[in-house]
Amino acid sequence: MKQVRLRFAPSPTGYLHIGGLRTALYNYLFAKHSGGKFILRIEDTDRSRYVEGAIEDLIESLNWAGIKYDEGVFIEDGKVVERGDYGPYIQSKRLDIYQKYVDLLIEQGDAYYCFCSKDRLDEVREEQKVKGLIPKYDGFCRSLSLDEARERISEGEEYVVRLKLPHNRDIKFHDVVRGDITINTEDIDDQVLLKSDGYPTYHMAVVIDDHLMGITHIVRGEEWLSSVPKHVYLYEVLGWDIPVFVHLPTVLNKDRKKLSKRHGDVAVEDFMSKGYLPEGLINYLALVGWSPENNQEIFSMEELIKAFSFERVAKTGGIFDINKLNWVNGHHIRNYDLDELTRLAIPYLKEAGYIDDRDIKEKYNWIKTMVETVREGISYISEITEKVDIFFNNKIEPEDENALSMLKGQQVPAILDAFKEELKEIEEVDEEFTKGIMKRIQRATGVKGKDLFMPTRVALTGNSHGPELTSIMYILGKQNILARIEYIEENFLKG
């Protein structure tokens, strides 16, 4: 049985789009589900759009997301390297390979040299538009003899090579998501295969590479669906088996338009910088256009691999809902290893000025407790700087009228006095103190239940609900608790 082989083949033209990450993910999941191989190939034949450093950034994003490929392009010691038996995996290094097949197609009569200028092509297309026709190449150079074409080339005339499609022929193919599709060649252009700069177009290179690299399933965005007949015809005239086609629905925003920078974050690095967990983003992305057989929503990568199939990919575009992503990511945060979560949170806390290098070295458990205390309320890690603010501002203001009313109870002064007396007896707030303090205040004042706990919480945080009081007290420490009690007494209890 032929080994399943899939590839992700992005162009190094900038950041990795969230839709591109989903394409890579679906390729990866199916390859691993099938016991096959997953390859990273770089399609850089459009040199005008090449961005320096894009390959490195792309690989970093895939590695961060936990999408591990078996062969292709890697970064080792800061350098781009290639590993595998089917290289080169960077298209600009394969020009001699493409030229070999371009020459073969010309010799067979399945491709031809075209000398039409850009001005002529623009003029032809404008005329076709005016007549209500599909704008495409008019075949002006199809009838040129090979000898004449080669003579013009020898004289230095600029040219491209085009695919010679047969006239009025239905080309049929099957797509796993879209089903059986038929397109007539009259509705298709004689596609350029080799550009005037000597580089192949996507349409030429992708067919050659996928065949020579043994790719069994071509999984990509639905924007390439209309190009498949040209690719199918190329496979046919080259005498090659046609792979399985899977064209994925587009990732859309909430307005059902293509996700773009104009509407918010779309680059994987945007989500990385905000502190989304790779487990959370990958879990959610898998569900944007695919659904499991049951109603499960929270998945590990291993569970996704086991459950994934292309048969359950939707035909319609998947909606990227940031609120649903936040819910899924928040779930992963709440179940994440605390030490690892603390490690991820420290850079944000440090940048915000809440901690410094000395705190990291000497007060790690304090930082860890702070992270544990607020993680229930965060959707991505950078949000932690908003949530921990209550621990660093001793000028506590009640959050609303309800919280303010809790400070007006006649028992509140006695509670705060008892709290201060307890603090006088200790050097620092530790676990033993936090676990026993409320019972001791209850005995000293006779106040219990919510009449005791709610005003104490408001006095310490300004909020009537929130994290465990024991954790809050440990994080604040003796001096901050005293400062907060004094501020409340001065501003809300006098008069």
Q: Catalytic positions, please?
A: 261
Q: 286: which 2 tokens?
A: 């898998």
Greatest pairwise CA separation for the chain in angstroms:
107
Secondary structure element (H or E) that encloses residue 274, with its range: helix 268-274
- Residue 419 corresponds to which amino acid? F
E-strand stretches of 106-249? 111-114, 160-163, 170-175, 179-184, 192-194, 217-221, 244-248
Q: How far apart are CA 165 and CA 272, in angstroms?
A: 45
Count the Cβ atoms, other than its own, within 10 Å of residue 394. 17
Secondary structure element (H or E) that encloses residue 38, with its range: strand 37-40
Q: How far apart are CA 391 and CA 226, in angstroms?
A: 57
E-strand stretches of 423-478? none
Q: How far apart are CA 291 and CA 26, in angstroms?
A: 12
**Which residues lie closer than 8 Å to 238 by C-beta, 6 or more apart?**
101, 104, 105, 207, 211
Pairing outcome for strands 217-221 and 244-248: parallel
Q: How far apart are CA 477 and CA 214, in angstroms?
A: 63
Print the SS3 string covering 56-82. Answer: HHHHHHHHHHCCCCCEEEEEECCEEEE
Closest listed residue to residue 284, CA positions, set 241, 315, 330, 242: 330
Spacing of C-alpha 304 from chain mean position: 16
- Residue 466 corresponds to which amino acid? G
Q: How far apart are CA 180 and CA 229, in angstroms?
A: 12
Q: 330: which 2 tokens?
A: 């928040």
18: helix, strand or coil: helix
> 133 vs 128, 137, 166, 185, 194, CA distance in Å?
5, 11, 19, 14, 26
Secondary structure element (H or E) that encloses residue 232, with its range: helix 228-238
Q: Which residue has the tokens 């005016």?
A: 130
Residue 29 near residue 69, CB atoms below 8 Å: no
Residue 474 near residue 458, CB atoms below 8 Å: no
